[in-house]
Amino acid sequence: MSTATTPTAAEAELAVQARQAPVRSQGYWAGVFKRVRRDPVTIACAAILLLMLLAIVFAPLLAPHEPYQGSMIRRLRGIGTPNYPLGTDELGRDIVTRLLYGGRLSWFMGIVPVVLAFVIGTTLGVTAGFMGGKVNMAIMRTTDIFYAFPSVLLAVAISGALGAGIFNAILSLTLVFVPQIIRVAESVTQGVRNLDFVDAARASGASGFTIVRVHVLGNVLGPIFVYATGLISVCMILSSGLSFLGLGTKPPEPEWGLMLNTLRTAIYVQPWVAVLPGACIFVTSICFNLLSDGLRQAMDVKG
Amino acid sequence: MILYLLRRIVYAIPIALAVGFVCFMLVQIAPGDPINAIVPPDAPADVVEQVRKDYGLDKPLPVQFGLWLSKVVVGDLGRSLATGRPVWADLRTAIGNTLMLAFAASTLGFILGCILGGLAGTFRGSAIDRGAVGIAVAGVSVPHYWLGMVLVVIFSVQLNWLPAMGAGPGGSSDWGWDWDHIQHLVLPTITLSVIPMGIVTRTVRGIVAEIMNQEFITALRGKGMTRSGIFYHVVKNAAPNALAIMGLQLGYLMGGSILVETVFSWPGTGLLLNSAIFQRDLPVLQGTILVLAMFFVALNLLVDLIQTALDPRIKRA
């Protein structure tokens, strides 16, 4: 992998790439986009997610009340109360406002661990798959250890030991997803590594790093990305679950999982208000899941 | 074959050791001195020092791991900080309850998943297929702790048909085979079964569709075999993989039931973990996670061995 690179060969290599790449990739992405556009379920999910994203980004403009300001005289109002369309929580805070603001943290904690795991897992997995040998052995056997824990248990174990907090929750969730992404990245890289064009690049004198950057990444990022989008749904459920257990965000911070936890005590008073935050988690999670399925089909990724 | 089995068993040993090491490290990564995990915070200084010596906490980390391991393998998981009882004593009843719930839920999920997945795979592309796939996606995307709350709202609060909490009458934590206990099992089982249902549906659908496309099915049809005859052949070919998924799901549910157990106050390992987290009772946390993870490792091994034994197509050397 550390073969000497003659500058001319590498330059010629890159020049060829530069000439070919835009044309080919445009065709590919145009095809993906066309296939996505013909898939009503994927479009609908993307639209719902976009609306939710806009709603939580512009929460301060949309929210009718203050997220932290409660009142003892209007606690646990039902759905349809004037001024409080979805009722109030156990401290008299407006549910609509809390849901809008709560989405910010829930989305943040559902996406950030997956993004971190995507970066770390892809790096390690591609390294393992491309280098092979002892490096592969070291990385993959370490991955096996984390695979020996059910993911919920691992997340609970690490955040339980570290204590509650957003940072600890993100750390533990990242640790849950990194091994999964490493496995996918390693196996797709293994598949690409022995293809003819990699051999050709090596024969023309490209260094290991150049081969990975130019030839391998373009072929493996798609499948890994699709896999990672599927993880967002799981991550959303797990991170809200950690908050539900009191391990993620701390009160009075609005977060869907935590809201579900505190409203649980009100289940006999205002049952339908109490289940609203969970419905938000469900809708987000299922939309991300279907979006990931749609992307998988449109990008023709197997598995 | 025998060689493969032996190799697989030997390979599980380093994994089990590594899992033990991760569990050991849980107390080390916890903020504060690990000694706080053993003695109550108000203990006098000389007692703390004595305990530090007794537990070998003044020794280097690898030695500590060795000491800890030598205790764990004989079943000494330490004492709970909150109750002072041995961790294993509480854990034993809790594991029984969790196993009960996880087994019931994975069985229900497996049966439903096989029906839905089988139908979807057989009638691929039809409305039945789309419906089954929709249910499967909903099953894996639903936050199951929330589903549990919704079921409680409907069946306990509104209809008052089923109890909302506990494993038996009067908050008893021991299982018994009577109507009262079974009633308590219904809602948690349904709640927990949606995940394996979704996953089994997806998997079985894939397996069945693949088998239906193979030439021997066409051949069987061609020689005039009835639908039920073909059904038998499909089941026979799909069973090893489907059973493997079922086994793994049981393991996942054992570890993943913490949220559902919290919702229903089901007196299992999840509730134990939950209270351990709240009281920062690290020995209980560590012991429970260790036992659950070891169970998962053993189950993985078992599934692999059974699958190899069942499926003559797998010839591993």
Residue B8 maps to a domain: no
Contact B296 A282 (CB under 8 A): no
- Which chain A residue shows the shortest CA-CA distance from B249? A150
Residues of chain A in contact with residue B147, where contact means CB-CB under 8 angstroms, are 278
Q: What is the pLDDT, as a whole number, of residue A120?
A: 94
Do B38 and B179 sit in the same domain of this protein? no
Which is higher by pLDDT, B248 or A53?
Answer: A53
Instruction: Choose the mutation target among A151, A237, A261 for the interface with B, i.e. most B CBs under 10 Å.
Output: A237
Q: A156 touching B, CB under 8 A?
A: yes
Q: A97 touching B, CB under 8 A?
A: no
Contact B262 A274 (CB under 8 A): no
CA–CA dist A272, B210 (Å, integer): 43
Residue B183 maps to a domain: yes
Average pLDDT of the residues in A146-155: 86
CA atoms within 13 A on the CB side of B283: 25
* Residue B1 in this model has a pLDDT that exceeds 80: no
- Give exposure, A208-245, as e/b (b: 16+ Cβ within 10 Å): eebbbebbbbebbbbbbbbbbbbbbbbbbbbbbbbbbb
Do B131 and B195 sit in the same domain of this protein? yes
Do B43 and B185 sit in the same domain of this protein? no
Chain A residues 225-244 with CB within 8 Å of chain B: 233, 237, 240-241, 244
SS (H, E, C) chain A: CCCCCCHHHHHHHHHHHHHHHHHHHHHHHHHHHHHHHCCHHHHHHHHHHHHHHHHHHCHHHHCCCCCCCCCHHHCCCCCCECCECCCECCCCCEHHHHHHHHHHHHHHHHHHHHHHHHHHHHHHHHHHHHHCHHHHHHHHHHHHHHHCCCHHHHHHHHHHHHCCCHHHHHHHHHHHHHHHHHHHHHHHHHHHHCCHHHHHHHHCCCCHHHHHHHHHHHHHHHHHHHHHHHHHHHHHHHHHHHHHCCCCCCCCCCCHHHHHHHHHHHCCCCHHHHCHHHHHHHHHHHHHHHHHHHHHHHHCCCC
Contact A245 B280 (CB under 8 A): no
Residue-wise pLDDT for A173-213, tens only, equals 999 999 999 999 988 888 888 888 888 888 888 888 888 88
* Residue A117 in this model has a pLDDT that exceeds 90: yes
Q: Domains of chain A by range and CATH?
A: 54-63+89-300 (1.10.3720.10)
% of chain A beyond a pLDDT of 70: 88
Residues of chain B in contact with residue A290, where contact means CB-CB under 8 angstroms, are 137
Task: For residue B53, give its domain range.
Answer: 16-72
Q: What is the pLDDT, as a whole number, of residue A174?
A: 93
ipTM higher than 0.85?
A: no
Residues of chain B in contact with residue A281, where contact means CB-CB under 8 angstroms, are 143, 146
CA–CA dist A208, B187 (Å, integer): 56
Query: What separation in angstroms does the CA of A94 have from each of A51, A55, A59, A64, A69?
Result: 21, 16, 13, 8, 8
Residue B231 maps to a domain: yes
Do B100 and B62 sit in the same domain of this protein? no
pTM of the model: 0.82
Contact A148 B255 (CB under 8 A): no
Residue-wise pLDDT for B109-153, tens only, equals 889 988 898 888 888 878 888 888 888 888 888 888 888 888 888
Which is higher by pLDDT, A10 or B109?
Answer: B109
Contact A241 B259 (CB under 8 A): yes
Average pLDDT of the residues in A224-241: 89
Residue-wise pLDDT for B143-176, tens only, equals 888 888 888 888 877 787 777 777 666 555 566 6
Average pLDDT of the residues in A138-148: 87
* Residue A111 in this model has a pLDDT that exceeds 50: yes
CA–CA dist B58, B49 (Å, integer): 9
Residue-wise pLDDT for B227-264, tens only, equals 788 888 888 888 878 888 888 888 888 877 888 888 88
Residues of chain A in contact with residue B29, where contact means CB-CB under 8 angstroms, are 158, 161-162
* Residue A121 in this model has a pLDDT that exceeds 90: yes
Q: What is the pLDDT, as a whole number, of residue A301?
A: 63
Q: What is the pLDDT, as a whole number, of residue A23?
A: 47
Contact A286 B153 (CB under 8 A): no
Which is higher by pLDDT, B189 or B309?
Answer: B189
Q: Quote the longest CA-to-CA distance of chain B.
A: 86
CA–CA dist B303, B45 (Å, integer): 50
Q: What is the pLDDT, as a whole number, of residue A3?
A: 44
Contact B22 A237 (CB under 8 A): no
Residue B82 maps to a domain: no
Do B25 and B113 sit in the same domain of this protein? no
Q: A138 touching B, CB under 8 A?
A: no
Average pLDDT of the residues in A263-278: 80
Do B111 and B204 sit in the same domain of this protein? yes
Residue B316 maps to a domain: no
The nearest CA of chain A is from the CA of B226 a distance in Å of 33
Residue B161 maps to a domain: yes
Residue B5 maps to a domain: no
Do B37 and B118 sit in the same domain of this protein? no
CA–CA dist A31, A26 (Å, integer): 8
Residue-wise pLDDT for B284-300, tens only, equals 888 888 888 888 888 88
Average pLDDT of the residues in A5-22: 53
When the pLDDT of each residue in chain A is averaged and rounded to a whole number, the result is 81
- Which chain A residue shows the shortest CA-CA distance from B15? A145
DSSP string, B33-83: -GGGGTS-TT--HHHHHHHHHHTTTTS-HHHHHHHHHHHHTTT---B-TTT
Do B191 and B269 sit in the same domain of this protein? yes
Q: Which of A16-25, A80-89, B49-58 is the least confident region?
A: A16-25
CATH code, domain carrying B259: 1.10.3720.10
Do B105 and B167 sit in the same domain of this protein? yes
Q: A270 touching B, CB under 8 A?
A: no
Do B135 and B238 sit in the same domain of this protein? yes
Contact A156 B280 (CB under 8 A): no
Do B171 and B26 sit in the same domain of this protein? no
Among A241, A271, A293, whose Cβ lies nearest the Cβ of B157?
Answer: A271
The nearest CA of chain B is from the CA of A267 a distance in Å of 7
Q: What is the pLDDT, as a whole number, of residue A287?
A: 92
Residue-wise pLDDT for B93-105, tens only, equals 888 888 888 888 8
* Domain tally, chain B: 2
The nearest CA of chain B is from the CA of A71 a distance in Å of 26
Residue-wise pLDDT for B10-55, tens only, equals 888 888 888 888 888 887 777 766 676 666 667 777 777 777 777 6
Residue B7 maps to a domain: no
Do B112 and B45 sit in the same domain of this protein? no
The nearest CA of chain A is from the CA of B313 a distance in Å of 21
Q: A271 touching B, CB under 8 A?
A: yes
Residues of chain B in contact with residue A260, where contact means CB-CB under 8 angstroms, are 145-146, 149
